[in-house]
Structure 1
Amino acid sequence: MIQMKNDNEFFMLKIIESAGYPVGSGIISEKLKGYGFNISEATVGRTLRELDSKGYTTKIGFRGRTLTAKGRNMLNNLKQEYELKQYGNELISLLKAENKKELIDILIARKAIESELTRLATINAEERDIKILQNIIKSHDRHVDDIVVGGVYDVKFHKYIAKMAQNKVLEAAMGLIRKQDQLSPILGYMRKKVKSTVVSDHKEILKAMIKKDPEVAEKAMVTHIENLIRDVNKYWEKADFI
């Protein structure tokens, strides 16, 4: 877990990045109020000097600060942590080493159920269904770097395929095993860390569905889940707790 002195340092870095030009302590102090921080300009100035000393910001004459490459990298890491915090400590604990087997077991179960759901969905697919899935993928593509919003569209994609399958028992089993609204951002976080994406897998599944080829669509879903398992294993190999 990345440690910073306090939350206002994170938001100060975020404000500097968003500005796109050098900003001074006065502007930053005003912008911080929008995040719920009532911090004086003098305190902001002292904090900026600390960020300078850490190598996260650099002063551009009298115009203000900009982020360094190190600062941008730190901010990106902090953004991911803040996104994950929205899902609570229980979900973050899934990233701990002792939960690896549980997560892999869930994915193995998903592979068995969702491959059959995809086969049935392809058989039942109508033009309207294909358009809905295409729109979900387009929206996901636009938010590919946002693990929270991306997680929402990941859930929508899999839920809609389950609905298309028209098998209530399998659909219910899939919903139970996937822990849908919880696991998607966690898996998205892991895949992002290992430089992998979900959307490309979804496109391959949809491509087979458009061709009305249930066997190929089924295999594409199996490949998708196997890619998730591969990326989870990669994440644990690289994670700090290993």
Structure 2
Amino acid sequence: MAMRPEFSDRAFKALRIICQASEPMGAGSLARSMTERGDPVSMATAGRILGVLDREGYLEKRSNRGRILSAKGREHLERLEALGKGETLARALLEELKMYSPGDLLDILVTRRAIERETARLAAMRATTEDLEQIKAFAEILDGDRSQVPSISVIDRLFHEAIA
């Protein structure tokens, strides 16, 4: 079921709230929690959000006490949070790139390539067997299925630190 963007955002917020809750939540407690967090919704809207999340299998009903996050809901929330982090990083990168002309960016890339090549050569000459194994492990992760890596930027940074 495709959701309107504003509804998707509220559903995401609801998942986070339900995940953090110490007890099952119903429409009333969800509406109060969302309002307290700066996104006021009516109890009816909270009920509709819960209904959609129920139909998607993201919640489990606890008799008449309310709902908790299901395993599927927890996985979905983790995916959404990871996407949000990636989106935030991408926006920051785009903002950073706006400060440079295309020519400046090309100069930076050419310079970085030369520096990285020389750094790799020096690392290979000075590296211990343990250093090389660590570099190889990071390289295999970076060359593999990146969808299985929670934070590619962390691995990339560790790879470059190992070379330096």
| TM-score, scaled relative to structure 1 | 0.43
Indicate whether 1:33 and 2:39 are aligned: no
Is the partner of 1:65 in helix, strand or coil?
strand
Choose which of 47, 58, 61 in structure 2 pairs with 1:59: 61
Counterpart position of 1:73? 75
Residue identity matched to 1:220: E
The CA deviation at 1:117 is 5.4
C-alpha distance in structure 1 between counterparts of 2:137 and 2:121, whole Å: 10
The structure-2 alpha-carbon separation of the partners of 1:113 and 1:24, relative to structure 1 and needing over 3 Å to count, comes to same
The structure-2 alpha-carbon separation of the partners of 1:220 and 1:54, relative to structure 1 and needing over 3 Å to count, comes to same
Indicate whether 1:235 and 2:146 are aligned: yes
| 1:120-142 residue CA offsets vs partner (Å, 9 max, x unmatched) | 6xxxxxxxxxxxxxxxxxxxxxx
The RMSD of aligned alpha carbons is 3.4
Alignment of 1:196-215 (within 5 A): 214-215=127-128
The CA deviation at 1:119 is 7.4
Computing the radius of gyration over CA atoms, which structure comes out larger, 1 or 2? 2
What is the number of residues matched between the two proteins?
126
The CA deviation at 1:89 is 4.1
Alignment of 1:117-156 (within 5 A): none
Unaligned runs of 5+ in 1: 93-105, 121-213, 237-242
The structure-2 alpha-carbon separation of the partners of 1:117 and 1:32, relative to structure 1 and needing over 3 Å to count, comes to farther
Alpha carbons 1:118, 1:218 under 8 Å: kept: no
The CA deviation at 1:20 is 4.2
C-alpha distance in structure 2 between counterparts of 1:55 and 1:14, whole Å: 15
The CA deviation at 1:44 is 0.3
Residue identity matched to 1:68: S
Identity %: 25
Counterpart position of 1:22? 24
The CA deviation at 1:60 is 1.5
Q: Which has the higher contact order (CA 8 A, sep 6+)?
A: 1
The structure-2 alpha-carbon separation of the partners of 1:22 and 1:110, relative to structure 1 and needing over 3 Å to count, comes to farther
C-alpha distance in structure 1 between counterparts of 2:130 and 2:43, whole Å: 58
C-alpha distance in structure 2 between counterparts of 1:119 and 1:29, whole Å: 62
The structure-2 alpha-carbon separation of the partners of 1:113 and 1:220, relative to structure 1 and needing over 3 Å to count, comes to farther
